[in-house]
Amino acid sequence: MIKLQNVYKTYYLGEEKVEALKKANLNIKKGEYVGILGPSGSGKSTLMHIIGLLDKPSSGKINLFGKDISRLSDDAISSLRNQKVGFVFQQFNLIEKFTVLENIILPAQYAKYELDFDPQKRAMKLLKRFGIYERANFHPNEISGGQQQRTAIVRSLIMKPDLILADEPTGNIDTKTGDEIMELLEGLNKEFGVTVVIVTHEPDVAERTKRKIYVKDGEIVTRL
């Protein structure tokens, strides 16, 4: 499902050359529940951005969902990301002027193809499933951090993705709520069969995943 071969990502800060990823080789199969673990600045977020089609490598080969990414146009990559990948971020990334429901259906509004489902009906069903049905018409600043993260999870599911990428999903919430969010992510993997990749610097969060990938100084150093 996800295959990286000798992937490098290099950028410049002024005249300083930064190798964010070096010779990254990685395979993640459909239905896996994986943790990418490493300290701040290790390259794990860069790895997530490349897997999630938010960024392009400087060199190397990427095959996602059976497609050679290097052969796709920018529009095709955007469409693939919209259809196949759902994101959950540490900062929630909700739009304050939109209600919970409006935030959730936003990815569907960007789709450039005919959907086989009603986004609003699917959103309401998912809101009920994740315990925030009564918050559908609230704005993000009117709900708790845990409810905002649940909203982000529902939004990540609206397009029926094959892959969920969660970047530090417990970073902005208390420990009890963090445990609840981790249980929800585990449930996505078990109940929906979605491949889940969690990026974290917290060993206890990574420990809950079924397979761990360690990143250090831009290199994948261990795969367990």
Q: CA 35, CA 58: separation in Å to the nearest integer?
A: 24
Taking residues 73-101, report their average pLDDT. Answer: 93
Share of the chain above pLDDT 90, in %: 76
Taking residues 96-103, report their average pLDDT. Answer: 97
Torsion angle of the four alpha carbons 93, 158, 63, 41, in this order, in degrees rounded to the nearest 10: 20
DSSP label of 169: T
In this prediction, residue 73 carries a pLDDT of 94
In this prediction, residue 224 carries a pLDDT of 61
Taking residues 77-87, report their average pLDDT. Answer: 93
Count: domains in the chain = 1
* C-alpha 96 chain-centroid distance: 21
Residue-wise pLDDT for 162-184, tens only, equals: 999 999 988 888 888 889 989 98
CA distances from 101 to 118, 141, 146, 151 (A): 13, 14, 16, 8
In this prediction, residue 28 carries a pLDDT of 96
pLDDT above 80: residue 56: yes
pLDDT above 70: residue 190: yes
13 inside domain: no
- The set of long-range contacts for 52-55, using a CB threshold of 8 Å and a minimum separation of 24, is 52/81, 52/85, 52/87, 52/163, 52/165, 53/77, 53/78, 53/80, 53/81, 53/85, 54/81, 55/9
3 inside domain: no
174 inside domain: yes
Taking residues 51-58, report their average pLDDT. Answer: 94
Taking residues 102-127, report their average pLDDT. Answer: 93
- Higher model confidence: residue 191 or residue 119? 119
Q: CA 151, CA 106: separation in Å to the nearest integer?
A: 12
209 inside domain: yes
- pTM of the entire predicted model: 0.90
10 inside domain: no
> What is the span of the domain harbouring residue 79?
29-57+71-223
In this prediction, residue 65 carries a pLDDT of 93
Q: CA 80, CA 173: separation in Å to the nearest integer?
A: 31
197 inside domain: yes
17 inside domain: no
Helix (H, G, I), strand (E, B) or coil at 55: coil
12 inside domain: no
In this prediction, residue 223 carries a pLDDT of 67
In this prediction, residue 64 carries a pLDDT of 94
**CATH number where 42 lies:** 3.40.50.300
Taking residues 176-199, report their average pLDDT. Answer: 91
Taking residues 108-130, report their average pLDDT. Answer: 92
Taking residues 48-67, report their average pLDDT. Answer: 94
Taking residues 124-146, report their average pLDDT. Answer: 95
